[in-house]
Amino acid sequence: MASLPIQDRQQIINRRLPFVIGFLLVVSGGLLVSVSRYQWLPPSVEREFIAQGQRNTSSLRRLPAERGIIYDRDGEPLAFNTIEYEVGVSANLVVPSRRVEMARQLAVILNIDEVRILNQLNTNAPWQLIARPVSAEVGQRIADLNMFGIILNPIQKRYYPQGDLAGQVIGFTIPDNNDVSRGALGVEGYYNAALAGQTLTEQVRNVPFELPDNERQTAQRGTSLVLTIDRDLQFWVEAQLRAAIEETGSTRGTIILMNPRNGDILAMASYPNFDPNNFASVSDPRLLRNPAISDMYEPGSVMKVITVAAALELGVANPDWTYNDTGALTVGGINVRNWDRNAYGVVDITTMLVQSLNVGAAQLALNMGPERFYSQMRTFGFGLPTRVDLPGEEAGIMRVPGEPDWSEANLATNAYGQGISVTPLQMLTAVNAIANDGLMMQPRIVLQKVDGDSVVNSDVTALGRVISKETADAVTMMMIRVVEDENGVGLARLPGYSIAGKTGTAQIPTATGYEPNASIVSFVGFLPADDPQVSIIVRLDRPRDYWGSRVAAPVFRRLAERLVILMGIPNDEVRLRLRSMGGNTSGQ
């Protein structure tokens, strides 16, 4: 063709050109048809293409919300968040000539094997974990290296600045596989949904060197909580509980402070306790529970004040009621005896409480009869949870007529706190009804919920009127006599302050009866008796000394001595003078 004249070659090209153009038109048409097919794909096919593209160029990452802070009633933090880091590397983005130096520097900062890091860098993997977790300080040192390919992901860590203070009340958090903390036990567990906030997901681009989108989602922060707990009172109570355990040789113990007027729990301490910062080191899982609401025990003679209140309310007895105490009473095939095995002759109802006579309490229950007695006990909340806003609460055990394991003997023994089980909070809540003019309040641990600029106060809830004010006043006067009478609980007295209280000494039940020479002792009281601002229950297990009047009552007094200062409660003389002048006689 090269030897052909130019004219002939042009003719050949002209003849072939239509075929070439036609071929190109056909190919172009086919391409256009193919491209146009993608413009009108079926929805299912279109979604699959989009999903495939996203999988190839991006990934989803969870954005945990910042967990809400927990404060005491004065705004002192009891739980907040700190930051740790996860250190990773995208080896495929690291220049090979820099890998040895990168491995060396990271090994020095992280104190891990340099060879291991270098092996990870030589894999050319898009991402590998190097270390987790590392402190914020270590994370900052790595960030300061400014090494391309190193990725620092923040990890929230829950921190409890007060250590083991109120650990069983606050609880702790456990991180899940997606770095989202989940509350466990205590306030952290009960209010987990509010504290945790709303976790969101973020589309993360995997395309190297692509500029990030500046518009990022922000996870919704969790609600912060203000507790009814007072940190200073809690500290004092825990210190006194530890001292009491050591002094009395007790194995365990619980102390609760409440405001009987509104149900606020001001302090709740149990021993042994734990530090929520190191909950994983607790060898016995039972220590993680809150004994104040989960441990049931027989309350002993503390129950007599409830029996007296029920009898007065039903009209079965009055403040002048008397009976002949012979020292023994046979009921349902068992012999009820007084704690000292003595007979006291004709005594009134106040003397029965002061001397803590089992026979008198049993006689009152028999006079009420099973139906009315247990109806009143149920009204006081026994056998029912208090519905406090904490997880793990037990309802106690109260057998009633009609149940297979109830007998008439239970009617007598329940009246003085044997054969019935309560929790410390349940017992204190019942006595609070007497302190609060007969109105029983639901215990609460959260005072306020703070969500941004919104502050919502928790409801103060009355569980119901269990006795009249007249009955409550009469029982209060008797409880004052229990503390002040020379035959009563003198070790609970606090000079200058009227105190209403009652001791309890209970045997410890076993599968075959009661544990010999072992007791659970308690004291329940409130002050000032004429205007109660704080109520207290002290419970100690297996002290060396058997009796509550000698073990629990002194602990109550030491608590009260300091509480009247911390809470600013004037003594009786000052309060009466202020009241006569129309002043404020309350403390906090």
For residue 416, pLDDT over 70 is answered with: yes
pLDDT at 514 over 60: yes
Angle ∠(388,389,392) on CA atoms, nearest 5: 80
Please determine, for residue 212, whether its predicted confidence score (pLDDT) is greater than 50: no
Q: What gap in Å lies between CA 264 and CA 446, rounded to an integer?
A: 8
Rounded Cα–Cα distance for residues 85 and 110 (Å): 12
- Both tokens of 331, joined, read 């009921």
Report in angstroms the alpha-carbon separations of 284 from 159, 268, 280, 510. Answer: 22, 21, 10, 22
Topology agreement, domain 65-210+219-227 and domain 231-279+288-580: no
**How far apart are alpha carbons 117 and 88 in whole angstroms?**
10
Convert the pLDDT of each residue in 149-179 to its tens digit: 898 888 888 999 999 999 999 999 987 766 6
pLDDT the model gives residue 216: 44
**Which CATH architecture fits 231-279+288-580?**
3-Layer(aba) Sandwich (3.40)
pLDDT tens, 217-247?
445 789 999 999 999 999 999 999 999 999 9
Local confidence band at 215 (pLDDT 50, 70, 90 cut-offs): very low
Cα–Cα distance, 293 to 306 (Å, whole number) = 20
| Mean per-residue pLDDT, 297-314 | 97
What is the pLDDT averaged over residues 280-293? 90
Residue 26's pLDDT is 77
At 317-347, the pLDDT tens digits run 999 999 999 999 999 999 999 999 999 999 9
Please state, as a whole number, how many other Cβ atoms lie within 10 Å of the Cβ of residue 253. 28
Tell me: pLDDT of 422 over 90: yes
Report the 10 Å Cβ neighbour count for 122: 14
Out of 3.90.1010.10, 2.60.40.1120, 3.90.1310.10, 1.10.3720.10, which CATH number does the structure's domain 65-210+219-227 have?
3.90.1310.10
What is the C-alpha separation between 230 and 111, in angstroms, rounded? 42
- At 211, the pLDDT band (50, 70, 90 cuts) reads very low
Residue 465 · residue 479 · CB < 8 Å: no
pLDDT (average), residues 431-448 = 98
Burial classification of residue 76, based on how many CB atoms lie within 10 Å of its CB (0-12 exposed, 13-18 middle, 19 or more buried)? middle
Q: What is the mean pLDDT of the chain?
A: 89
Distance in angstroms (rounded) separating the CA atoms of residues 366 and 260: 30
pLDDT at position 219: 52
Which of 84-93, 234-243, 270-279 is predicted with the least confidence, judged by mean pLDDT?
A: 84-93
Cβ density class 500-529: b for 16+ within 10 Å, e for less: bbbbbbbbeeeeeeeeeeebbbbbbbbbbb
pLDDT at 214: 45
Amino acid sitting at position 548 = G
Average pLDDT of the segment spanning 268-278: 95
Q: Is the pLDDT of residue 201 over 70?
A: no
Distance in angstroms (rounded) separating the CA atoms of residues 551 and 558: 12
Q: 91-145: per-residue pLDDT in tens? A: 888 888 898 999 999 999 999 999 999 998 888 888 889 998 899 899 999 999 9
Residues 310, 294, 462, 435, CA torsion sign: positive
> What does the domain layout of the chain look like in residue ranges?
65-210+219-227, 231-279+288-580
Does 72 have pLDDT greater than 50? Answer: yes
60-64, 85-89, 420-424, 516-520: which has the highest mean pLDDT?
A: 420-424
**490 pLDDT higher than 90:** no
Q: What is the pTM of this model?
A: 0.84
Encode pLDDT of 19-47 as tens digits. Answer: 777 777 777 777 776 666 656 656 665 56
In the predicted model, is pLDDT for residue 560 greater than 50?
yes
Joined together, the tokens standing for residue 363 give: 């006689």
Task: Kindly tell me if the per-residue pLDDT of 356 is higher than 90.
Answer: yes
Sign of CA dihedral 65, 71, 75, 76: negative
Q: 433, 456 in Cβ contact below 8 A?
A: no
